[in-house]
Amino acid sequence: MNSTVLADNILRMVGGESNVVTVIHCATRLRFTVIDNRKVKLAELRALDGVLTVVCEGDRLQVVIGNRVAKVFHALSVRCGLISTEKKRGQHERAGCAQLMRWSDGLADITMPLLGVMMAAGILKGILIMCVDAGWLNPGRQRAATLFAIAESPFNFLPLFLAILCARKFKANLFIAVAMAGASLSPLGMGISAGGQQEAFSGLPFRLMNSSGAVIPVIVGVWLISRIEQVIERYVDAAKRAIVTPCFLLLIIVPLIVLLLFPVGVSISQAISALFSALYNFSPIFTCALMAAAWPLLLMLGLHQAFIVLFINDISVMGQSFLLAACGPAIFACSAMLLAVNLRSRNSKLKALTRSAIIPSLFGLSEPAIYGVTLKRKKMFLCVLVVAAFGGAMVGYGKNSAIAMAMPGLLTIPVFYGEGFITYILACSLAFVGSLGLILLTGIEESSLPVNWGESPDRENIAVRRPPPAAKPVSDITEQIIAPVSGEVISLAQVNDGVFSTGSVGPGFAIIPDEGRVYSPVDGYIASTYASRHAIRICSDAGAEILIHVGINTVQLAGKYFCVEVQTGEVVKQGQLLMTFDLLAIAAEGYDTVTPIIITNSEAWRSLGASEKPRSRSGERSSALSI
């Protein structure tokens, strides 16, 4: 599927342009903010060729594409105007969604464009240091000084880069933002800050501090400028605004920010670095092991962007980052997991997915591994975390650190040159070999645990399963199924859900219920219950697997209005009460209460005969299976 077609399909399945507040992209993902997550067709979105997986958290939707995410994003930008108005954005934010995810996404907008140039500069710096130590380069010569200047420039002028990106993000005056960031980088500002003397400004004591590497002051300062600009625009007409705004900001606001806010921001940056240093100094082995094990989890939650800002802050303040080095074994452990799955899996689509993700993962792009493979296989994910923690402990023991901001990978190995460099290489190598061996030894999971069809695993909707009891052989028999719910009988094609109506899950029928009681349609046992309590899967004595799913998208109620009367593994009789639910309350919340009854192992049965009665009463025969 080409990028344009994929973009069209994704946009349609997230509810159309009218349902999207914003969309951005990072290294492998499209990040949507949606207005109504009930309009998102998650199951169809996950099934798209070209989509690795989808992660949904409230109004935040992450569609994992892989390496061609930029092309798909470009196709989205060309074909529609997904640039939200401030009014639309403001209304949505007042609705109140996950603030932590919003901050993380905002940091991603600011830092992502910087990572490429910072990685290249870090690699160059590492190679130059290697060459100096090997005696191949004389640091006193002009050529070496020029190369080191190039390698250092992205870090020396980091405030200017941040000011430009923050001005775009916060819609502030670009030139005012750069002037603010450049004040302490000017020769005069650098000279005053080096002296460290305290002065007075309008009677207020201040000390101009060197903020050449500070991240927090610039971000907060540009954000403050953008807010003041909005106030000025509200009270000053357009004819005067072109003169009043820059004069007021440059003559009054910028000096206040540079002289008062910057020292506070630099102190906060230094305090954050000191906190991480204290944790590291307390126990380098434990701290690095914890960071390495946490990194895949942070990637999974999308919170790694916030830590990237902290890594940049560490390098800017201390000249190195111990915690960034600890993430290296985690990256290589994920890569080995992909190789193990590729070697052992019999699923051709899964093998193709892992084959395409192995190389990017070795170069630091681990999202395809986390979302496309690891997240769906808990045992393998645990193996990755254990091996990553062991590798992180080795990095901590060797006291290795990153000398520049670059995600760990094969290409960025020079960034970690210095104390403990050999230990770092050994840790990453052992993480790769250990993860590969452990997963091959414990076996791979060919498919993920079944999640309720059409809905998000982020709702803790993973089915609780048990192995079936001594299986009875399926023979030439007929399975009589009674109606589990009273109400109007309709075909699956009439169900307003793309997964059920197309028969993707399996054949069956649906009932529009008259009452909130569900009874067992067969003799058998409860094969699965769900944390959201809105669905039950039964395995009959004859071998039929039946899913009873109350309502469409009712997983979003998180168990509200539902009461399950049975437990997983419990033996039940035909006509036994399984579940009660508040029919009127669910309808009042705006959910469709239609209840599909699906045969999920239809391939084992020759035919399915359904009753032609337009209405059913619980306990009446509704269908029959034969083999």
For the record, the structure tokens of 244 come out as: 């009043």
Q: Do the Cβ atoms of 224 and 180 come closer than 8 Å?
A: no
pLDDT of residue 361: 80
- Please name the helix (run of DSSP H) or strand (run of DSSP E) that holds residue 528, with its range, or none: strand 524-529
Q: What is the mean pLDDT of the chain?
A: 76
Residue 261, pLDDT > 90, answer no
Strands 571-572, 562-564: pairing is unpaired
For the record, the structure tokens of 594 come out as: 């239609």
For the record, the structure tokens of 23 come out as: 């969309």
Distance of CA 450 to the CA centre of its chain: 21
Q: Which of 360, 370, 279 is nearest to 326 (CA)?
A: 279
pLDDT of residue 425: 95
Range in 79-83, 245-249, 348-352, 473-477 with the lowest mean pLDDT: 473-477
Residue 195, pLDDT > 50, answer no
Residue 479, pLDDT > 90, answer no
**DSSP reduced 3-state for 597:** strand
pLDDT of residue 430: 95
Please state, in angstroms and rounded to a whole number, the distance separating the CA atoms of residues 373 and 353. Answer: 8
pLDDT classification of 364: cutoffs 50, 70, 90: confident
Four-way CATH pick for 480-626: 1.25.60.10, 2.30.30.100, 2.70.70.10, 1.10.3720.10: 2.70.70.10
pLDDT classification of 158: cutoffs 50, 70, 90: confident
Over the stretch 264-311, which tens digit does the pLDDT of each residue have? 777 777 787 788 888 888 899 999 999 999 988 887 666 676 777 788
**Angle (nearest 5°) at CA 504 between 498 and 506:** 125
For the record, the structure tokens of 552 come out as: 């469409």
Rg of the chain (C-alpha set): 29
pLDDT of residue 469: 44
Please state, in angstroms and rounded to a whole number, the distance separating the CA atoms of residues 452 and 570. Answer: 20
Exposed, middle or buried: residue 61 (CB in 10 Å: 0-12, 13-18, 19+)?
Answer: buried
Give the residue-averaged pLDDT of 61-78. Answer: 76
Give the residue-averaged pLDDT of 203-223. Answer: 65
Over the stretch 528-568, which tens digit does the pLDDT of each residue have? 787 778 888 898 887 788 889 898 878 778 788 888 888 88
* pLDDT > 90: percent of the chain: 10
DSSP conformational letter for 515: S
Residue with tokens 């399926």: 474
> Could you please report the per-residue DSSP string of 309-348?
HHHHHHHHHHS-BHHHHHTHHHHHHHHHHHHHHHHH---H
Does CATH place domain 3-80 in 3.40.50.1820?
Answer: no
- Region of 418 (left: φ > 0; alpha: ψ -120 to 50; beta: rest) is left
Side-chain-facing half-sphere of 55: CA atoms under 13 Å: 19
Give the residue-averaged pLDDT of 149-163. Answer: 85
Delimit the domains of the chain by residue range.
3-80, 138-192+207-276, 283-442, 480-626
Over the stretch 311-330, which tens digit does the pLDDT of each residue have? 887 887 788 889 899 999 99
Range in 26-30, 84-88, 272-276, 420-424 with the lowest mean pLDDT: 84-88
pLDDT of residue 357: 73
Residue 407, pLDDT > 70, answer yes
Question: Residue 26 catalytic?
Answer: yes
Give the residue-averaged pLDDT of 503-523. Answer: 84
Q: Which of 26, 97, 327, 428 is catalytic?
A: 26
Q: Please tell me the pTM assigned to this model.
A: 0.54
- Please name the helix (run of DSSP H) or strand (run of DSSP E) that holds residue 361, with its range, or none: helix 348-362
Residue 433, pLDDT > 80, answer yes
pLDDT of residue 502: 66
For the record, the structure tokens of 467 come out as: 């192995």
